[in-house]
Structure 1
Amino acid sequence: MNAPQPKATSCPPRPVWRHRLRSSFESTLLAGTATALVAGVIAWLAGAQSVAGWCWIAGTVSAVVPATAWMAAALRRGRAGVDLIAVLSLVGTLLVGEYLAGALIAVMVATGRALDAAAQRRAARDLTALLEHAPRSARRRAGDRVEVIPADEVAVGDLLVVGPGEVVPVDGRIEGAVAVLDESVLTGEPLQVERAVGDSVRSGIVNAGTAFEVRAGATAEQSTYAGIVRLARQAGAENAPVVRLADRYAAWFLPVALLVAGAAWLASGSPVRAVAVLVVATPCPLLLAAPVAIVSGLSRASRLGVVIRSGGALENLGRATTLMMDKTGTLTAGRPAVVEILTAPDLDAGEVLRLAGSADQLSPHVLAEAIVAEARRRGLPLALPTDVVERPGRGVSAGVDGHRVEVGRPARTPSGTAWARTAVNRASLDGAAIAWVSMDDAAVGAILLRDPLRRHAPRTLRRLRAAGLTRLIMLTGDRLEPAHEIGSVLGLDDVKAEQSPADKVGAVRTEEQRAVTVMVGDGVNDAPALAAATVGVAMGARGASASSEAADIVLTTDRLDRLADAMEIARRSRRIAVQSAVAGMSLSLLAMAIAALGLLAPATGALLQEGIDVVVILNALRALRSPGKQAELPADTERMLLRFAAEHDELRDALAQLRDAADHLTTSRDDSALEALRRVHTFLTDRLLPHEHGEESRLYPALAMPLGSAEATATMSRTHAEIDRLAIRIGTHLALAETSGEVSADQRADLLASLYGLHALLRLHFLQEEENYFVLADDTDAHPTGARAQQNHGDGAR
């Protein structure tokens, strides 16, 4: 039974009520100024000019007070923004008696502020999930007695007991027994690890095995997890306020407007002419066009499953040049998948998987879930297990069809036979975890599992580079070797492995000194880095809620390609905002020159400014449209893609026959090599080649139109020709061997080259098709098994 968890004390969450109060006030201001304007117009049409004037005065005054407060706040931050011109215009209309012009400006100011608030509003980021996971209590052993104490009372040197499923309360060293740990909260890695007695262990890690003891090496306040919470709070507090696009342009527009207004007054001696200049100089293209474009971008992104919490985040995303990414759950699927099944001689891989899947059905372990999912995907009939025994850190033992089946990590690795040694070697080379399968105390198979690369990842990173990102970096808590392998596959500019949450924050801050930086992650361990980045992006569909709360942007669908969509939308929205602002200000400058010559009265100028606003707002609304042409697939072509993608998954399972046949050629001198060659030839002629010919004759011609040219598939067609050539070559060797009754010595070298070459070529070809073509179908990223052949992931324990 887990230790009771008393409520943790923490700093109060961000004041959400302030955001709500601000939104309510700005909506009320807009309604009030619009009502005053309309009431004044009605009164004027009814002949009550005095009443109309007072209505317009009320509307103007209601905008002057908050506009003055906004101006003062901007000046305190050292920015003379668009609000200063608005205040001067409003006050000027009151002083010279141009009340209608003042009411029109008041409505425009209130409208712009409401739009800006809609673009800037964001959810509170109170780090709730981080605080909920924080260790609050500990079990301290005192002799034969175990007492539950608050975590902050743990002293260095205390002996603590960590029960199954409990969180390690403080940093320390393991004593008494080997520990099986889930370190995903700190490293992001989904596979569990085994730590020996004497190994260090960090707070925040979950015990995934049986109870073990920890000798405290630090207090709770000095431990790792407390540091994560502090980092997230500090990073969030250090983010500078976003400088609005409107304010950046106002920095030069403001002095120009004041100079022209002053010159008009001096030249004419009439303050009305100066007010007319200020009225047409009121930066409504800045107050309205930029927020409209940004809000339109936010709306467009939300329809694609991208929640952007503020207009500032969209603006910053649009000018970012550096992207930093976590690996697990961001570039990879974040959950293991079966990549290969090796069996003892004369046993079928499907039957071994069926036995393992049957035994694992009741286990919550992440590897067990992957094995059961693979068995079901293949349509294997799983039996109901009996007498199930879950051994934390070791696996499952269960009765299946009258046999005792064990799945997981046995007490002694069965590496005494050739097939078992092959399994160990392949797991080591491929960075895979092994789940051994035994039946009645005899090892019958080994299931290799890895965390696969997302199918959309390579294409998405190419799109991100095309969108303007010049530096792509991966941050991961995983080991150096698998991390560099992923970096090589994706062509990343830098890879930083074995990163703690503090290391990630440091790396983000270093990059931020060079350029606007985006950080993408999905775990609790990523939350501090997301908060520290200029723009934090959370993979929110399956990621930890802490990362979503610390992020500026949340991808609500489990698709990495939505990040590229968000980048394209951000770039386009910002570009349209700039276009609208520049066009509007250019028209305003022209109107200012006309007003300075005395050809525009303040009220007429206000109406002209309204016309300018309409033009720039209509242009800004273009941000609602798609940022670019996507490949439009006919329904028949999409169904064909999905069918061939499913065939890939089936064929990939059989590719191991090629390597197995090559292994037989090097180790066997009996009929087994010839029999393995026959199986390979049957697979090639009955299954593989019909699939490749179907792609060549039906799929590739169908893709020519959406891809724009038949040349888009030309290199893949050349690969098909090479696959045909190697298959024919293997068939010729088989015919020669059948004639002589054995594979001759002079055939072996060329056969090995053909088998290994075809195996490597097919793996590469499958991946290329999946990354270039199959991702065009909408739901392909929902099936990460399509990318299981990627080399990825470190060690894990079962």
Structure 2
Amino acid sequence: MSRTAFGRALTPDRLLLAATLAALAGGAATWVLGAPEPAGSIWAAGTALVLLALLVAIARDLWHGRTGVDLLAAFSMAGALLLGEHLAGIIIALMYAGGTALEAFAERRAGAELAALLGRAPREAHRERDGVLEDVDVGQVAVGDRLLVKTGETVPVDGIVLENPAILDESALTGESLPVERGTGERVRSGALNAGQPFSIRATATAEASTYAGIVRLVEAAREQKAPFVRLADRYSLLFLPATLLIAGLAWLATGDPTRALAVLVVATPCPLILAAPVAMVAGISAAARRGVLVKGGGALETLAGAEILVLDKTGTLTTGIPHVAAIEARDGIDEDGLLRLAAALDQVSTHPLAEALLAAARTRGLALPMPEAVCETPGAGIEGRVEGREVRLGRIGFVLGGTARDPWIGALAQRAARDGATTVLVAVDGRPMGAILLADEIRRETPRALRALHRAGIRRTVLLSGDRLDAAEAVATALGIDAVLAERTPEDKVDAVRAERQTGITAMIGDGINDAPALAAADIGIAMGARGAAAASEAADAVLLVDRLDRLAEAILLARRTRRIALESVLAGMALSGLGMVAAAFGFLPPVAGALVQEAIDVAVILNALRALAPADGRSREALPLPELRRLHEGHATLGPILDRLRTLADRLDLGDGAALRAELLAVDRLLQEEVLPHERADEADLHPRIARLLGGQDPMASISRTHREIAYLARRLHRLVATLPPTGPSHEELIELRRILYGLEAILRLHFAQEDEIYDSVAGDVPPAARPKARTVAEVS
């Protein structure tokens, strides 16, 4: 055994238990050999040792202003020594030492996930300088240093991957069990474990400012705080202690036998009361940590259990806070893919945050991007350059158009963007405006399901509190069914709003930004989206969602309520059982030795009951949809997404352009529907939906989905028949009206249908790693 492991093994609680066991065994052996007096002395010595340790602990508690029922254990051992009940005394001592050791074990077991975080803290880094690799203390790493992370090592500081894809195990940070891949240029967080080949990073933060150091600080705070519920147990003890002394005194007075009083004190030794609540709370904190929710203490866990009102930030909490391409408006002479390809190719060298959204959309559509030439970027305005010999300019309308007169469609586009809360990126090719790309924030995929789960967990009122524009906030709130909207609020206004909600019930606030920190601190319990949120929010909050999933909050509330119930059950059951034992002892049915054994059994029972809080809030297990199939479904919807965009764009532009070109576009869209969309739906109906129906249970749970399949097939058939009869010159006026109606109807029902399917798929998928989850939705898609 190593010296460190040996030190861990010889903890004070274990040493005390070992000494007590040795005294009990030594005295028993001596007694068996026919020497009862030395046996009593050995037992008395063991009792005195435990009594001394207990008196030191009581004195320390009194010094800190705490009183409890440990005094009963001290009275019991002292009484046993005075009355010569040495065997009873050593059993009481063993009971107390064993209970203390069991509490310590329970805390170590319950806090295993938190301890693992602390134990995995990086201490060393491999720094590359002038072609030489040197091992340095992690505290010496500076921003900008190039570091090598070897296989099996922990990422020492936050950084950006320089070369070689990084395969990381982020379970210690997020609770996700499967490895994730980070490519060149992507950020990695300290504390993740390298599960693949060695890779290099450029440090973006020092060790003290990195993700892992912040989590460790939160963990230490979680372990140091004492819960109000534990103080509630102390308040119970203030009633239990005088009641015990009264029963013991009456038994002595009524019988004149001090042994009766000793027996009462022995049975009343209050291990259940002083152990059950803290063990349950620590177990609950540990169970929450396993699910990616770091609760800073038992007090926060108890407050979370009573939450009735939930105040939510919008950006970064209900939405991802990351823009994505919501629509592409291409004019005559270029299609959507062509416009996006030119814009994304130019944005490959841009440093603007919106550039990544265009690149992601191009990668989703499988577009090959050529390298641009002669690129010039104007910060805050736009970028221009040559792509395959064509002059491309994109950015703000004023930058792209310059002094050129604006076409009417640009005004209509700006109005649409304002209604949808989107950002417009205008694209010009060879000096002519050729289209625009609309970018918008996304509602998190799990948000609608998470809000329903929160209401089921006991949240009776939800409030959207945002600094964003009223129309943007109301659009999100309407799409998600949120009860109230408070928009355009400053940080000070947010604090006032949270305080007002607290007047009507226990209020939880969840947010991720620096501007949310004051409101988080003002709430009864503040919850930070810590996976990508600001450090200030995490520091101000009482709990942190380490995994970037809002649905984990509902799990945490259910777990907190279960933990509080288990703690209260354990305290009350322990007191009730001890009370029955005291009455039996007072009437002479339990002598001191037997009473000590009964109390030991009560201790074990209530502590084991408290450890039930380690289990998940919902312990039921059920079959889940296999991960490969879930990926296939989500990838299928992602592939079909551009077809839906094309349907809407075509419906918008039916009365523009010549009839022959319009007929060709209608034929192309009809072919996509017949060859891609309808086969996908038929495959789902035949192969997948029967399996999901078995997982969901009930009678025909997929009936509504099957009904939308039929409606999709009906509209697609009408479009096919109408397009097949179009003359070469294109549709007539009457046919245009019918085509627009069908196209809008198909686009709307397909978006709703895909959203419904994704909701159902997620509900039977269990925990899904980020790489397998579907793309998040815009407000329009959710609506």
What TM-score comes out, normalization by structure 2 length? 0.76
The residue type paired with residue 476 of structure 1 is S
Name the residue aligned to 1:759: 747
1:128-186 deviations in Å (ceiling 9; x for gaps): xxxxxxxxxxxxxxxxxxxxxxxxxxxxxxxxxxxxxxxxxxxxxxxxxxxxxxxxxxx
Counterpart-to-counterpart distance in 1, 2:409 and 2:763: 36
Counterpart-to-counterpart distance in 1, 2:522 and 2:638: 40
Q: Does 1:67 align with 2:58?
A: yes
1:274-300 deviations in Å (ceiling 9; x for gaps): 332233223322323333333332332
Contact 1:67/1:87 (<8 A) preserved: no
Q: Which residue, out of 713, 717, 720, partners 1:728? A: 717
Name the residue aligned to 2:20: 37
Q: Does 1:53 align with 2:8?
A: no
Q: 1:331 to 1:81 in 2, by over 3 A?
A: farther
SS at match of 2:590: coil
* 1:479-558 equivalences in 2 (<5 Å): 479-558=469-548
The residue type paired with residue 641 of structure 1 is L
SS at match of 1:274: helix
The residue type paired with residue 25 of structure 2 is I
Higher RCO (C-alpha 8 Å, min separation 6): 1
SS at match of 1:445: strand
Name the residue aligned to 2:579: 589
Query: Which deviates the most, 601-610 or 667-676?
Result: 667-676
Q: 1:619 to 1:535 in 2, by over 3 A?
A: same
Name the residue aligned to 2:590: 600
The residue type paired with residue 55 of structure 2 is V
* 1:179-194 equivalences in 2 (<5 Å): none
SS at match of 1:472: strand
1:662-681 deviations in Å (ceiling 9; x for gaps): 23344567444444433332
Q: Which residue, out of 360, 363, 374, partners 2:350? A: 363
1:690-748 deviations in Å (ceiling 9; x for gaps): 2222221122112122222463221111111111222222223324434x954333344
Counterpart-to-counterpart distance in 1, 2:447 and 2:516: 19
Instruction: Please give the root-mean-square deviation of Cα atoms over the aligned residues, in Å.
Output: 3.4
Gaps of 5+ in 1: 1-23, 124-235, 794-798
- Shift, 1:454, TM fit: 0.6
The residue type paired with residue 318 of structure 2 is L
The residue type paired with residue 51 of structure 1 is I
* 1:123-202 equivalences in 2 (<5 Å): none
Q: 1:776 to 1:537 in 2, by over 3 A?
A: farther
Name the residue aligned to 1:682: 671
Q: 1:706 to 1:251 in 2, by over 3 A?
A: farther
Q: 1:399 to 1:91 in 2, by over 3 A?
A: farther
Counterpart-to-counterpart distance in 1, 2:407 and 2:675: 32
1:306-336 deviations in Å (ceiling 9; x for gaps): 2233233223222322222222211111211
Counterpart-to-counterpart distance in 1, 2:106 and 2:518: 28
Query: Which deviates the most, 626-635 or 578-587?
Result: 626-635
Q: 1:264 to 1:571 in 2, by over 3 A?
A: same
1:402-438 deviations in Å (ceiling 9; x for gaps): 2332232143565833553443233122111112222
Q: 1:631 to 1:654 in 2, by over 3 A?
A: farther
* 1:16-415 equivalences in 2 (<5 Å): 29-47=12-30, 48=38, 49-71=40-62, 73=64, 81-83=68-70, 85=72, 89=76, 96=83, 99-104=89-94, 106-107=96-97, 110-111=100-101, 114=104, 242-244=228-230, 246-247=233-234, 249-250=236-237, 252-412=239-399
SS at match of 2:700: helix
Q: Which residue, out of 716, 734, 745, partners 1:746? A: 734
Counterpart-to-counterpart distance in 2, 1:687 and 1:25: 62
Query: Which deviates the most, 611-620 or 101-110?
Result: 101-110
Counterpart-to-counterpart distance in 2, 1:251 and 1:512: 31
Query: Which deviates the most, 333-342 or 382-391?
Result: 382-391
Counterpart-to-counterpart distance in 1, 2:324 and 2:580: 64
Q: Which residue, out of 437, 448, 451, partners 2:441? A: 451
SS at match of 1:380: coil
Name the residue aligned to 1:703: 692
The residue type paired with residue 464 of structure 1 is L
1:48-107 deviations in Å (ceiling 9; x for gaps): 4323312321211211232244256455xxxx6555655655665565555325523542
Q: 1:65 to 1:629 in 2, by over 3 A?
A: closer
Gaps of 5+ in 2: 1-6, 31-37, 116-221
SS at match of 2:354: helix
The residue type paired with residue 228 of structure 2 is V
Name the residue aligned to 1:476: 466
Counterpart-to-counterpart distance in 2, 1:71 and 1:101: 26
SS at match of 1:443: strand
1:198-224 deviations in Å (ceiling 9; x for gaps): xxxxxxxxxxxxxxxxxxxxxxxxxxx
Query: Which deviates the most, 251-260 or 42-51?
Result: 251-260
Contact 1:340/1:448 (<8 A) preserved: yes
Counterpart-to-counterpart distance in 1, 2:391 and 2:596: 86
Counterpart-to-counterpart distance in 2, 1:536 and 1:783: 30
Q: 1:514 to 1:84 in 2, by over 3 A?
A: farther
Q: 1:775 to 1:89 in 2, by over 3 A?
A: same
Q: 1:606 to 1:509 in 2, by over 3 A?
A: farther
Counterpart-to-counterpart distance in 2, 1:89 and 1:451: 66
Between the aligned residues of both structures, percent identity stands at 45
1:431-467 deviations in Å (ceiling 9; x for gaps): 1111222233322221111110111111111111112
SS at match of 1:515: coil
SS at match of 1:771: helix
Contact 1:396/1:407 (<8 A) preserved: yes
Q: 1:58 to 1:771 in 2, by over 3 A?
A: same
* 1:629-668 equivalences in 2 (<5 Å): 632-633=622-623, 637-666=626-655
Counterpart-to-counterpart distance in 2, 1:467 and 1:613: 32
The residue type paired with residue 703 of structure 1 is I
Contact 1:660/1:676 (<8 A) preserved: no
Counterpart-to-counterpart distance in 1, 2:760 and 2:518: 34
Q: 1:401 to 1:72 in 2, by over 3 A?
A: same
SS at match of 2:433: strand
Contact 1:29/1:62 (<8 A) preserved: no
Name the residue aligned to 2:189: none
SS at match of 1:495: strand
Counterpart-to-counterpart distance in 1, 2:552 and 2:338: 39
The residue type paired with residue 242 of structure 1 is P
- Shift, 1:243, TM fit: 3.7
Counterpart-to-counterpart distance in 1, 2:310 and 2:84: 54
Counterpart-to-counterpart distance in 1, 2:105 and 2:566: 16
SS at match of 1:334: coil
Counterpart-to-counterpart distance in 1, 2:288 and 2:565: 16
Contact 2:376/2:385 (<8 A) preserved: yes
1:595-630 deviations in Å (ceiling 9; x for gaps): 111222334322211111222233333333333266
SS at match of 2:544: strand
Q: 1:652 to 1:294 in 2, by over 3 A?
A: same
Contact 1:90/1:106 (<8 A) preserved: no
The residue type paired with residue 41 of structure 2 is S
